[in-house]
Structure 1
Amino acid sequence: MTAIKHSLQRDIFTPNDERLLSIVNVCKAGKKKKNCFLCATVTTERPVQVKVVKVKKSDKGDFYKRQMAWELRDLTEVDAKDANKENPEFDLHFEKVYRWVASSTAEKNSFISCIWKLNQRYLRKKVEFVNVSAQLLEESVPSGENQSVAGGDEDALDDYQELNAREEQDIEGMMEVCEYAISNAEAFAEKLSSELQVLDGANIQSIMASEKQVNILMHLLDEALAEVDTIEGKLSSYEEMLQSVKEQMDQISQSNRIIQISSTNNHKLLGEIEFLVNHMDLSKGHIKALQDGDLSSPKGIEACINASEALLQCMNVALRPGHEKLTAVKQQQQLFCELRDTFARRLTNHLNNVFVHQGHDQSSTLAQNTAELTLPKHHPLHRDLLRYAKLMEWLKSTQREKYEGLSRTYVDYMTRLYDREIKDFFEVAKIKMAGTTKEGKNKFGLHGSSGKLTGSTSSLNKLAVQGSNSRRSQSSSLLDMGNMSASDLDVADRTKFDKAETDDTDGAIQTKPSASEHRNSMSNEKDMVRMMMTKIFACIEMELNSLIALGDKIDTFNSLYMLVKMSHHVWTAENVDPASYLSTTLGNVLVTVKRNFDKCIFGQIKQMEEVKISKKSKVGILPFVTSFEEFAELAETIFRNAERRGDLDKAYVKLIRAIFTNVEKVANESQKTPRDVVMMENFHHIFSTLSRLKISCLEAERREAKHKYTDYLQAYVINSLGQPLEKLNHFFEGVEARVAQGVREEEVSYQLAFNKQELRKVIKEYPGKEVKKGLDNLYKKVDKHLCEEESLLQVVWHSMQDEFIRQYKHFEGLIGRCYPGSGITMEFTIQDMLEYFSSIAQSH
C-alpha cells in the first residue's frame, strides 16, 4: 500500500499541488468488484482545500487516473455501519449517498480517522460520524483560535500548529540576537523564560498604574449611557407623533381610494348607459315605418328595409352580463318583439296579395306573342319582387315559419301561372310543327325516291348552316313553320326544325321565383331554390319530352338538330352552375334526345339490313349508300362546332361499318349485276363521299373504301375482259407449260404442236377487224353492267385497255423469246389497239 501511495502522490497529486494523507482500497457495494482508491488530500497552497478523490486504474492497467473528486465541506455524514464489530462497509453522504466496501477493516478505520481529523482542523461545519468507534475519534485540543489534530496516523497529519508569518519573523529575529540559540537550546530557553517573567511583571505593573484612567473611563461610560437614555426618550416621543401622522395619512389615502373607485364606477356606468342607448334605441321614424310604412311604393319599401335592418341590429345586439336583468332593457326588448311581429304580419299579408295577383296575371299571354311564339316575359313581375329581396331575407332570419309559408304561397301561384303558359306554349308549338308535314310518312326511308333529299347541295348547306348557327341567347322563334305547305319533308323542313329553341335565358326557365333566389354560397340555399324551381316548372321536362317525341315522330333526323341544340344548352347551363335546376332538367331531356338519336342510327342500320333489290334490274348505287351521303352532309352542317361531336363520330363508325357489311351482302345476292360491279360502284361512291366531306374519324374507312374499289375494279376488268384472243391465249398457255416442264424457250419451236407453222395459223385467226368487233361487244356488255350515276364506264374501259395492252405485250415477249428470228408478228399493233378502244368509246 505504501508503494501505491507513493506512486499516487508522485503521478497524480504532486502535479496538482496536493498532498496525499490517507488512502483506502474500495469497491462499490452490491456490484461487480471493480476496485478503486479513495484518497484524502489537502492542497499545499493557502487557503487549504480538503478533498476526497476517487482514483482508478486505466482500462489498459498500466497507470492510474483521477476519476472523481468531492470537497470535504460537501460531506454531511460518515456511516461506518457498525461501531462494535469489524465491518469493511461504510457510506459517505455527499449530494447523494455513496456506499463502499473496503479491502480491509483496518484501511477503512484509518481512512475514517483521517477524515475526522481533517474535519476537526479545517471545517467550521462539522461532519456527523455515525456508527464509528470512539477510539477512532480523538478530541481536538484548542490552541488560540485554531484547532489542532491530536493523535492518529503520523503519516496522515503532523502534531503541530503552523506558525503564521509574523510569528516566524519574530522567532527568526530572536534567534539572530542569540547566536547560541541553535547550539545551546537550554540556555536559549532559560533566557526566553526569564524575559517572559520580566514581561509578565511589566504587564502587571502597567495594569495597576492605569487603574485611575480605567475609573475615569467607566465614569464617562456611565454618562454616555445616561445620554443614550435621554435620546431614547425623545425618539419615543417622536415615534408617537409620527404614528399619529401615519394614521391621518392612511385615512387620507383610504378616502382618495374610495373617490377613485367611485369615479371609475361612474365612468363604467356611463359607458354601459351609452352602450344601451346607442345599440338599443330605435328612432321614431323607424318605428313608424315598421307600423304603418307603405309596402307598395319604392320609397316606402326603402324606409321599411332600413327600419327592419335597424330593428334586427337592436334585437341581435350582444348584451353584456347583467343587462338582461334591467327593467328598461326588458321593456325595450318587448317593444322590439312587438314591432317585429307587427311588421312580419304586415309584410306577409302584403306579399301574399302580390303573389296572388301575379299568379292570375293575364297582361302578357301567349296569344300576344304568336308571331314569334315565345313565352311571355315577366320582367315587370320580377322587378317588383326584387324590391322585396332584403325584406324577405329579414323575414327569413326573424320569422322562419312565416317565410316558409310565404314561399309555399309563391310556389303555388307561380306554378299555376307558368304551368298554364308553358302548356299553351308547347301546344301551339306542336300544332305549328305538325302542320309542316304529313304525318305517317317515312321521309328518310331507304326504299325509294321518297328517301332522297330534294334541292341542290348548295341550298342544303346554306339552309342547314343558317339553322346550326342560330344559337340565340335572346328570345328566338320556335318552329316558325306556319307558312310551310310542302307535302314532303324536304331540306327546308329540316332546317326550319333547327330553329326550334326554347327561350332558356330570358324566359320561364331563368325566372327568379322570389328574392330568396339570390345567389348564396350556402348549399341549403341552393337546394331550396332548386326545390322551388322543380315545383314551379314541374311541367317543363314533361312538355319538352313530348315536343321531342313529336319531332322524332315527324322525322327521326330531327334528333340530330335536337342533340346539338340541347347539348349546347346543357353545356351553357353547366358552365354557370352544374348543379342548377336548369342544368339538371336539360340534362334529363338530353338523355331522351340522345336515346332518340341512337334509335335513329339503329333504324338506319336496320333498314340497311332489310333492303331488297330487284332481280330484273341492275343494282347501281344502293339506297342506303345514298342515304348515308345525305345523312353525312346534313350531319356535318348541323354538328359543325358542336359540343357533342363525339356522339356523331361514334354513329358514323356504326353506320359505315354497317354499310360495308350490307353492300357486300347485296353484292353476293345480286343476280342481274355482277358482284364486282356492285362492290366497285358502291365503294367508289363511298370513297368519293368521304373524300369530299373529309370526316376525320372515318379516315381509315375512307382508305379501306378506296382499297376495295380498286381491288374490285381490277377484278371486274380481268373477269370481263377475259381472253379476247382465246385461241392465241390457249396456244401461249401451252408454250408456257412446256417451258415450265423444262423445255428451253428457244427449243419450243421444235415441238410439233407449237412450231412456227401452228403459231402463224393461230395468229391469222385474229385480224384487226375481228379484234375491234370483239372489243365493241365487250363495251356494250360493260355499259349494261354499270349504272349512270357513278359514271365509271370510261374508267373501266380505260382499265380494260391497259389490261389488253399488257396481254399483247406478254404475247409479243413470248414470240420474241421462243421463236427468235422467225419474223412472226401479230396481225395488229398497239397503236391499232389504242385506235380501236378510242373509236369504240367515242362511237357510244
Structure 2
Amino acid sequence: MEGTKQKVVLSIRVAKSRGIWGKSGKIGKGQMAKPRVLAISTQLEDKSQQTKAFLNVLKYSNGGVLEPAKLYKLKHLSKVEVLTNDPSGCTFMLGFDNLRSQSVAPPQWTMRNIDDRNRLLLCILNMCKDVLGHLPKVVGIDVVEMALWAKENTPVVSKKRNIQDGPVPAAEVIAESDMKVTVEKELVSQAEEEDMEALLGVYVMGIGEAEAFSERLKRELHALEAANVHAILESEPLVDEVLQGLEAATVAVDDMDEWLGIFNIKLRHMREDIESIETRNNQLEMQSVNNKTLIEELDKLLERLRIPSEYAACLTGGSFDEARMLQNIEACEWLTGALRGLESPNLDPSFANIRAVREKRTELDKLKTTFVRRASEFLRNYFASLVDFMISDKSYFSQRGQLKRPDHADLRFKCRTYARLLQHLKSLDNNCLGPLRKAYCSSLNLLLRREAREFANELRASTKASRNPTVWLEGSGGSNQNVNNADTSTVSDAYAKMLTIFIPLLVDESSFFSHFMCFGVSALAPPGSPANGDNNDDDLGIMDIDDNDASTNTKNTSELEALNESLRDLLDGIQEDFYAVVDWAYKIDPLRCISMHGITEKYISGQKADAAGYVRLLLDKLEERITAQFTRFVDEACHQIERNERNVRQMGVLSYIPRFATLATRMEQYIQGQSRDLVDQAYIKFIGVMFATLDKIAQTDPKYADIILLENYAAFQNSLYDLANVVPTLAKFYHQASESYEQACTRHISMIIYYQFERLFQFARRIEDLMYTITPEEIPFQLGLSKMDLRKVVKSSLSGVDKHIGAMYKKLQKNLTSEELLPSLWDKCKKEFLDKYDSFAQLVAKIYPSETIPSVTEMRDILASM
C-alpha cells in the first residue's frame, strides 16, 4: 500500500450495494452498485513484533485512479454472511463490532462469480485464523462446500486484466505461494472429512452408475412437472379467485400507500409545527430565566445604591461631639464601602455606564465632599481650641522656682478620639490630610515652643554656678588660676536635664503625629533607647487604631518625605531654646562644651526611627552649635597664645606652657569616656600654635634662641608627662617636644664648646677637610698645619684647661633661668666635649704620631673633678 508499511496479500474488484432486492426488480438511488476494490493487507509492528491484518476499501477517482476510501481492522470482524436473497450467491456482508452506528446496515459486496467470492472469503478466514487466532461467525454458506472448493482450486492462476472492466490494481495478481489454502485442514477436521467420504461412498454404491441414476432423476422430474401442471390446471378457478383477491389487495395497498403518503406529508408539517413551537417555547423559557436573573441582579444593585437616611443625615449635618463619633465612624465606613462597591473590581463593568449608577456615584461623591469639608473644618478648630486652652493656663508651664515637665497625655487622649475619623478621611480623600496636618503642626508648635522657652528660662535661673573667664592661656598671671578650678558641673547637668525632658517628648510627639495623621512609616524609637528616657508613657498605643498595620511597616519614600516636612513645621523654632542653654553654658564655662558634646552624641546614637528624623536633625544642629562654641573658645585661646609673640624680650618658660597643662587636665576630666575627637582636635590646634609661637619668639633673638627653646620644651614635657601616658594625641606631641629639646641642647652646647675651644676644634676641622683630598702623610706639610702650628694651638687651648672648662660652665649657667636643667645640661656638655676631644686626639695620633698632647683619660679626670 503506497504511503504505508502494509503488505498486500490479496486484492480483488467488487461491486458495493446497500439494501435488499425489491419485488419490482428495481434498485433505488441508494442501492446503486458502485465499483470498488477490496485489498487484504498485513503490517508488522516494529515495537511489539506482532502482525496486524487490515481490509482496505479502494474506490475509483474521476480520473480512473484508485484511492483509499475506508480501512477496517480484521480483529474487529465478527460476522461473514452470504445473503440468500441473491440467487447467484455472489453477494455477502461483512459485520464489524466497532462500527459507530450499529443501526445502519453494513455495505453489501457483490462478486463477479462464485470463485471470486470463495477466494476472498477463504483469504479472510485464513488471515483471521493465522494472524488473529479466532474465526468470525459464518452464515449462509456451507463450510464443507468451501473446503471442497478450496481443495479443487488450490493452484491459482494469475488473472488477466480486463480492460473493459476498468483499471485493476497491480496487487490483483496473486502469487501462487500466497494462495495455497489449507481450508480443509482448518475448516473441517480430518475425522469429519473421513466420515463424509465414507457416507458419500455408501450413497454412490447404493445408487449404482451415475448416468443411470441421472436418467432416473430426469424421468422422475418430468413426471413431477406434469403432475404439477395438471394440478395447476385443475385449480384454475381457485387461481382466478386468488388473482382477483390479489388485485383487490393490490388496489387496497395502493390506496393505503396514497393515504400513507398524505399522512406522511401531514406528519411532516406537524413535525415542523412542533419544532417551531418548541423553539418558541425554549426562547420563552430562556427569556423567563433571564428576566428572573436580571430582576435579582437589579434588586442587588438597587440595594447597593440605596442610601440609608440615618447615614445621609449624619454625613451632611451630624455633630462631631465625642458622643456622636461612633455614628460618624459607622457612616464613614458605610460611605467608604459604598464608594468601593461602585468601583470596577467590585461592580460588574456592564453596570458602570448605567445612568442610575452614574447618578448614585455622583450623589455619593457629593456626600463625601460635604462630609470631608465639615470634618476638616471641625478638626482644624478643635486642634486650635485644645492648644489655646492649654496655653491660657499658666500653671501648665514652668514658673519661677518650679520646673514643670510637659505632660501631653490628656492632649493625646482627646486627639485619639478622632484618630479613626482621620483614617476614614484619608481613605475618602487623601488630599484633605495636608491642611489638617498643617493646622495640627501650627497649633502644637506654639505649645511646644512655649513649654521649651519657659523651661529653659527657669532652668537657667535656678542653676547656680560661678562664671569662669575665657582668658586661659594669656601671658598675665594672677588669681585666675584659682577661678578656673571652680565647679561648673551644674551647667552641663542643666543641659542634660533639658535634653532628658524634651528629646523623649519630641520623639513621642513625632511618633504620635505619624500615627495620628496616618503616615505609612515606622514611627517608634527602639524600646529602652536613651531617646525614650526613663518613662515612655507618651506612647498611647496608636498602633491599634488601624487593624491593618502591615501598611504601617511599609516604608514609602513619598510618605517619609511628607512626614519630615510636617515634622519640620511641628518642631521648627524649638531649637532656639536649646541654643540659648548652650550659649548660657558657654559663657559660664567654655570647657563645659566638651561635656555637652558628649551628652548630645549619646542622644544622637539613640535616634534610629524614621519619625524621629527631625529630632535627629535638631540634635545634629545642637552638636554643630556646641562644636562652633568650643571652636570659638579654642580660637580665642590660640589668639591669646599668639599675643606672647609681640613682647619685646622674653626669657625663661613662657606662661602658656604650664597653663596649657592645667587646661588639658581639666579637659580630660570633662571627657569622661566620651568621644575624644573634639578634644583631640583642640589639642592639635593648641599645641601647633604654641610651638609655632615659641619658634617665632626664639627667632627674635638668635643669641638666646636655643636657651628659650630647650627651657620651654623641657617645661612642656615636665607639665604633660602624666597626661601623655594616657592620651595618645598628647603623647605624639610629647615625643615631638622631646626631639626639639634634644636638638636645641645639642646646638647650645656646641656653641659653648666652640666659644672656649674654637682654635683647637677649628684646627681639627681643617685636618678632616684635607683628608678627603690628600694622604695623611702630606697634611703636616700644608700651610698652617705643621707640627709647630699644632704645638701653638695645643698650648693656647689646653694650657690651663681647667680654667677654660670653668668658663664653659659659667657660660652655660649664665643665661639659663631654669636651674633644674643645669645638671643635665652640664653632663651633656662634658660628654660632648669629651667626644670631640677624643676625635681630636685620634686625628693627632694619626697625622702627628711623634707629637704628644694630654690624653683623653687625663681630660676625663679633669672634667670629673670640675
Q: What is the TM-score when the length of structure 1 is the normalising length?
A: 0.54
How far does residue 356 in structure 1 lie from its aligned partner after superposition? 4.3
The aligned runs of 1:261-660 (5 Å cut-off) are: 261-274=287-300, 277=303, 296=322, 305-306=329-330, 308-318=332-342, 320-321=351-352, 325=356, 340=371, 344=375, 348=379, 354-362=386-394, 364-367=396-399, 370=402, 375-398=405-428, 410-411=440-441, 413-432=443-462, 435-438=464-467, 441-449=469-477, 492=489, 499=496, 501-503=498-500, 504-508=502-506, 510-512=508-510, 514=513, 516-520=516-520, 529-530=563-564, 532-563=566-597, 565-566=599-600, 573=607, 575-577=608-610, 580-612=613-645, 618-623=651-656, 626-627=659-660, 630-631=663-664, 634=667, 638=671, 642=675, 645=677, 653-660=684-691
Measure the CA separation in 1 of the matches of 2:399 and 2:337.
Answer: 49
- Give, as a single letter, the amino acid of the residue that structure 2 aligns with 1:666: I
1:787 to 806, 815, 818: 818
How far does residue 777 in structure 1 lie from its aligned partner after superposition? 3.0
1:354 to 1:826, Cα distance in 2 relative to 1, 3 A = closer
Measure the CA separation in 2 of the matches of 1:751 and 1:343.
Answer: 120
1:738 to 1:562, Cα distance in 2 relative to 1, 3 A = closer
RMSD: 5.5
1:259 to 252, 268, 285: 285
How far does residue 800 in structure 1 lie from its aligned partner after superposition? 1.7
The answer on 1:798 being equivalent to 2:832 is no
How far does residue 611 in structure 1 lie from its aligned partner after superposition? 1.9
How far does residue 638 in structure 1 lie from its aligned partner after superposition? 3.6
Structure 2 residue aligned with 1:678: 708
**Counterpart contact for 2:416–2:516, Cα < 8 Å:** no
1:808 to 1:228, Cα distance in 2 relative to 1, 3 A = farther
- Give, as a single letter, the amino acid of the residue that structure 2 aligns with 1:391: L
Measure the CA separation in 1 of the matches of 2:688 and 2:388.
Answer: 60
How far does residue 814 in structure 1 lie from its aligned partner after superposition? 4.2
Measure the CA separation in 1 of the matches of 2:497 and 2:284.
Answer: 89
**Counterpart contact for 1:498–1:561, Cα < 8 Å:** no
Measure the CA separation in 2 of the matches of 1:543 and 1:585.
Answer: 11
1:812 to 1:492, Cα distance in 2 relative to 1, 3 A = farther
The answer on 1:766 being equivalent to 2:801 is yes
How far does residue 502 in structure 1 lie from its aligned partner after superposition? 2.4
* Secondary structure in 2 matching 1:744: helix
Structure 1 residue aligned with 2:837: 808
**Counterpart contact for 2:465–2:490, Cα < 8 Å:** yes
1:703 to 1:224, Cα distance in 2 relative to 1, 3 A = farther
How far does residue 746 in structure 1 lie from its aligned partner after superposition? 9.9
Structure 1 residue aligned with 2:861: 832
- Of all paired residues, the percent bearing the same amino acid is 14
How far does residue 314 in structure 1 lie from its aligned partner after superposition? 3.0
* Secondary structure in 1 matching 2:263: helix
1:622 to 1:713, Cα distance in 2 relative to 1, 3 A = farther
The answer on 1:665 being equivalent to 2:696 is yes
User: 1:200-245 CA distances to partner (integer Å, 9 max, x unpaired)?
Assistant: xxxxxxxxxxxxxxxxxxxxxxx99999998587345313213213
Structure 1 residue aligned with 2:263: 237
User: 1:603-633 CA distances to partner (integer Å, 9 max, x unpaired)?
Assistant: 3333333224766762314516853883597
How far does residue 408 in structure 1 lie from its aligned partner after superposition? 5.9
**Counterpart contact for 1:545–1:589, Cα < 8 Å:** yes
User: 1:631-680 CA distances to partner (integer Å, 9 max, x unpaired)?
Assistant: 597279649654x94x7666655544433322210111258x92112223
1:168 to 1:293, Cα distance in 2 relative to 1, 3 A = closer
The aligned runs of 1:72-87 (5 Å cut-off) are: none
- Give, as a single letter, the amino acid of the residue that structure 2 aligns with 1:659: M
**Counterpart contact for 1:305–1:390, Cα < 8 Å:** yes
User: 1:494-521 CA distances to partner (integer Å, 9 max, x unpaired)?
Assistant: 7657746524432246524756444335
Measure the CA separation in 1 of the matches of 2:359 and 2:847.
Answer: 136
1:322 to 1:778, Cα distance in 2 relative to 1, 3 A = closer
**Counterpart contact for 1:295–1:347, Cα < 8 Å:** no
Deviates more, 1:359-368 or 1:695-704: 695-704
Measure the CA separation in 1 of the matches of 2:768 and 2:567.
Answer: 89
1:583 to 1:698, Cα distance in 2 relative to 1, 3 A = same
- Give, as a single letter, the amino acid of the residue that structure 1 aligns with 2:818: C
1:325 to 1:776, Cα distance in 2 relative to 1, 3 A = closer
**Counterpart contact for 1:443–1:450, Cα < 8 Å:** no
Measure the CA separation in 1 of the matches of 2:256 and 2:574.
Answer: 119
- Give, as a single letter, the amino acid of the residue that structure 2 aligns with 1:234: L
1:732 to 1:613, Cα distance in 2 relative to 1, 3 A = same
**Counterpart contact for 1:430–1:547, Cα < 8 Å:** yes
1:774 to 1:245, Cα distance in 2 relative to 1, 3 A = same
Deviates more, 1:796-805 or 1:811-820: 811-820
Q: What is the TM-score when the length of structure 2 is the normalising length?
A: 0.53
User: 1:326-379 CA distances to partner (integer Å, 9 max, x unpaired)?
Assistant: 899799969977995898499647666545434445564324994xx5752323
Measure the CA separation in 2 of the matches of 1:391 and 1:542.
Answer: 35
Aligned residues: 575
**Counterpart contact for 2:452–2:574, Cα < 8 Å:** yes
Measure the CA separation in 1 of the matches of 2:494 and 2:393.
Answer: 31
* Secondary structure in 2 matching 1:511: helix
Measure the CA separation in 1 of the matches of 2:610 and 2:340.
Answer: 34
How far does residue 817 in structure 1 lie from its aligned partner after superposition? 3.6
Unaligned runs of 5+ in 1: 1-72, 74-163, 170-222, 455-485, 838-844
Measure the CA separation in 2 of the matches of 1:733 and 1:345.
Answer: 100
Measure the CA separation in 2 of the matches of 1:491 and 1:284.
Answer: 68
* Secondary structure in 1 matching 2:268: helix
